[in-house]
Structure 1
Amino acid sequence: RRVCLGESLARTELFLYLATMIQRFQFLPPEDGQLPSLEGILGISNSPKPFKVRLVPR
């Protein structure tokens, strides 16, 4: 089976990016306090509807 040589590097970079974001910021709902809808968009797979989030430095 053929595998992209950069796939493992890309996965590692994505993990480090997300871990750093979670470490340095608090993820909060927008100022208006409206939480995202739990309804999804049905397609080949079920995905969430777009939503807003507020990042506050820790």
Structure 2
Amino acid sequence: PVCLGESLARMELFLFFTSLLQRFCFTPPPGVSGDEVDLTPVVGLTLSPRP
């Protein structure tokens, strides 16, 4: 089964996060240097409820 709204949802998420990155300046919390921040992606698992 394919979700007809999946491509729309992905596009909306992309636009949402893009607008956040354009409007705000993201910095590490006080006491943490930029070198200490680990930006390595973590592979995860998305769970969905059963129909």
Task: Tell me if both proteins adopt one fold, taking TM over 0.5 as the criterion.
Answer: yes
Q: May I ask how many residue pairs the two structures share in their alignment?
A: 41
Match of 1:47 among 31, 42, 48: 42
Q: Of Structure 1 and Structure 2, which has the larger fraction of its residues in strand? A: 1
Which ranges of structure 2 fall in alignment gaps of 5 or more residues?
Answer: 44-51
1:24/1:47 Cα in 2 relative to 1: closer, same or farther (>3 Å)?
Answer: same
Which ranges of structure 1 fall in alignment gaps of 5 or more residues?
Answer: 41-45, 49-58
Per the alignment, residue 28 of structure 1 pairs with 27
Per the alignment, residue 8 of structure 2 pairs with 9
Paired letter, 2:5? G
Structure 1 segments (4+ residues) deviating >3 Å: none
Q: Distance in 2 between matches of 1:28 and 1:37?
A: 13
TM-score normalised to the size of structure 2?
A: 0.60
CA RMSD of aligned residues (A): 2.5
